[in-house]
Chains A and B, each alone.
Chain A
Amino acid sequence: MKSGDAATAALPAPVPLRRRYPWLGGLSRFGGGMVFLALPLFLFGVFVFYPLVKSIYLGFFVSDPFGHGQEFVGFDQYREVLTSPDFRKSLLVTVLFALYTVPTGMILGLVFALLANQRLHGALFFRTVFSSTIAASVAVAAVMWLMLLNPSAGIVNWVLGQFDLPRVNWLTDPQWRQTWDSGPALMAVSLTTIWLNIGFTTLVLLAALQNIPQELYESARVDGASPWSLLRHITLPMLSPALLFVVIVASINAFQSFGQIHILTRGGPLDATNVIVYSIYTDAFINFEYGAAAVRAVALFVLVLAFTLVQFRFLAGKVFYR
């Protein structure tokens, strides 16, 4: 045998994958994709899809104290919970909470990011300070604000006192001069939440700001733009993807806030801070009414989904992606 033949024999032509594993054939596209998706699908299934379906299912039952569906009641429980005054109250509180925290947090974050983006001495210091709240846990922030807002020893009331303003029982006064239905407690909780989120918002917006090419500003300045026009026509449009991201994340955060409410007010006073998440907790783990809690959870899911879709629908068109 010649040496050339030996070399050829040693290297068989590659067998196409499908011929070697015929069972791959028809399934290859779908199955191949599934192989890659298997792990995330499994995790989502266990931790998201199953609980979601189970919650909807549980809503049709009055449950025993262990969370097992006992008596099938169909849509009666949905109707009963969703039309109850306390659900309407918590829905109102939730929406107010989102309205207090999301726009304020975004505007403050934008202002901080713009300030920190200035090429001034000490900018690094401010960048660090502005984004530092990202490192604080919900519990730490809540306890800190609990002390700041303490009616007799807290610094907030002390400052009010310096200006001869009346002291406020921030976390316990159910009503604020009979006019503000939610009272100061919701504002106090909102303040804590804004403080908690501001680091993240600032960081995201600052990173986006630094991605805007400097020549755009130079070109616009030569074109005759004032500082206000630069902000309106260059900065904000170029920031729009980051702003949309921040608004959606902050909104979802607002609808899901629990820790700070639990530590500061436990949903009180008189349900003034009883957001839907907190009422789910109360129903499920204080009152052991798992079925009712499941209904509220489904309602919250629909609310968040609708809110997010609305935001995409109305804001996405104004967003410019490079």
Chain B
Amino acid sequence: MALVTFDNVSKFFGEVVAVKDFSLEIYDREFIVLLGPSGCGKSTALRIVAGLELPTKGNILIKDRVVNDVEPKRRDVAMVFQNYALYPHMSVYNNIAFGLRMRGLHRREIDRLVKEAAQNLGLGELLRRKPGELSGGQRQRVALGRAIVRRPVVYLMDEPLSNLDAKLRVQTRAELVKMHRLLQTTFIYVTHDQVEAMTMGDRIAILEQGLLQQVGPPQEVYDRPGNIFVAGFIGSPAMNMFPARLQTRNGDLFADSEVGSFRLDAQQAQGATDASDGEVMVGVRPEHLYVGGGEGSGAVSATIGAMVDLVEYLGNEAHVTFSRSDSTLVARLDARVKLKPADMVPLTVLVENLHLFDRASGRRLA
């Protein structure tokens, strides 16, 4: 059963389109991540669920009930804001208790819940402090505590980790995942950080310019990006992309490009029949490029000659930039590879690892 449903939701701010024809079903107890570059509409979508923005068109449903006109406080949602929005004049205790007080719980019950939440989050010693006296990480915990203590049907999180330093972010990421498992509740999590999305989400919904690009489990989104935008956005270093033309020779279908000519396998040829005019984009992930000839494994491969431009050693691996004609290719290679700029090397790619997109529409072909 869908817990939260976006039914063709659009939101305009004057002329500006924030979200357009957005439809998405979010399931009970799911951890879904709304991912996209800044300004893509992901935060607006979240705020529409919270009731802080009204959809211009379409419906938003919580538990199968249209809540377009329902005030935020009657939606039974809790939200964690990017800069926490803690009440600066209240102690940590009162910050956490505020939502419970507003709901008219008994004082003793509030006390029990606040202390329990504070204990779980390691805030026990800090209950009398004001937010101004806390570190960034502690404030973030108070913001989480304020949400958890409410036990809502859905948690909304708007980039909750973006103000933390790198180390704390990784740590809190894991804690949030654990928290989700423990609470058994739906999380809608907004971020622009693909690592957070990949590591935390049950599913990822990728937005760009207000439009939903693709929804799916992280691995699926990575392995089979639905269009050129998703292919380029997910993965670091980004997927190599180059334009190609489909040509039939001797009964086989080839993708001819500046980089090389690739004989497509049967499945890809099948998908490629959808290409509008034979103009495609070919994509290959950096980890799918190998230095050396195409011997072994028996899989269909293509080998091209390329010149080393730049080698970046990261300790566990090396990112090597090659150039061939006017195109550049980035390969993720073993750190022990000994390459230096201007070396000419053969680069091999397995044809099964190629991604094919329609150049006009950006849609995935195979």
Contact = CB atoms under 8 A, between A and B. Distances in A.
Contact of A215 (B77, B85, B89): B85
Given A229-B102, A233-B98, A322-B132, A222 B89 contact: no
Interface string B80-105: 01010101111000000011001100
B85 A216 contact: yes
B102 to A, nearest CB: 4
A222 B154 CA distance: 12
A317 interface: no
A213 interface: yes
Nearest to B53: A218
B192 interface: no
Contacts of A221: 51-52, 71-73
Interface string B42-63: 0000000011100000000000
Interface residues of A, number: 20
Nearest to A212: B88
B197 to A, nearest CB: 23
Q: Which of A229, A233, A238 has the most CB of B within 10 A?
A: A233
Contacts of A213: 85
A320 B88 contact: yes
Q: Which of A213, A219, A220, A226 has the most CB of B within 10 A?
A: A219
Given A215-B83, A229-B102, A322-B132, A223 B150 contact: yes
B88 A322 contact: yes
B98 A223 contact: yes
A131 B321 CA distance: 64
A225 B73 contact: yes
Interface in B141-185: 146, 150, 156
A218 B81 contact: yes
A219 B81 contact: yes
A226 B52 contact: no
Contacts of A220: 87, 98, 102
Contacts of B150: 223
Contacts of A322: 88, 132
B114 interface: no
Contact of B52 (A222, A223, A233, A240): A222
A221 B77 CA distance: 11
B144 to A, nearest CB: 13
Q: Which of B83, B99, B132 has the most CB of A within 10 A?
A: B99
Q: Which of B71, B79, B89, B99 has the most CB of A within 10 A?
A: B89
A222 B87 contact: no
Contact of A222 (B78, B90, B132): B78
A222 B90 CA distance: 17
Contacts, number: 63
Contacts of A223: 73, 78, 98-99, 102, 146, 150
A33 to B, nearest CB: 31
Contacts of A222: 50-52, 72-73, 77-79, 156
B85 A219 contact: yes
Nearest to A238: B89
Contacts of A269: none
B83 to A, nearest CB: 7
A224 B81 contact: no
A263 interface: no
A240 B150 CA distance: 28
Contacts of A233: 87, 98
Q: Which of B78, B81, B87 has the most CB of A within 10 A?
A: B87
A220 B72 CA distance: 9
Interface in A200-220: 213, 215-216, 218-220
B189 to A, nearest CB: 16
Interface string B100-112: 0011000000000
A28 to B, nearest CB: 36
Nearest to B143: A219
Nearest to B152: A222
B81 to A, nearest CB: 5
Contacts of B85: 213, 215-216, 218-219
Contacts of A237: 89-90
Interface in A15-71: none
B68 to A, nearest CB: 16
A180 to B, nearest CB: 40
B73 A216 contact: no
Contacts of B87: 216, 219-220, 233-234
A217 B50 CA distance: 13
B69 to A, nearest CB: 15
A233 B89 CA distance: 9
A221 B99 CA distance: 9
A14 B87 CA distance: 52
Contacts of A229: 102
A226 B87 CA distance: 16
Nearest to B146: A223
Contacts of B51: 221-222
B67 to A, nearest CB: 13
Nearest to B131: A322
Contact of A225 (B52, B81, B89, B102): B102
Contacts of B77: 222
A42 B211 CA distance: 69
Contacts of B50: 218, 222
Contacts of B73: 221-226
Q: Which of B50, B79, B85, B146 has the most CB of A within 10 A?
A: B85
Top 7 closest pairs, chain A to chain B, by CB: A224-B102, A215-B85, A223-B99, A320-B89, A219-B85, A224-B73, A237-B89
9 contacts: A215-B83, A218-B52, A219-B79, A219-B87, A220-B102, A221-B52, A223-B98, A223-B102, A226-B102
Given A219-B85, A222-B52, A222-B77, 6 more contacts: A216-B88, A225-B73, A226-B73, A226-B102, A229-B102, A320-B88
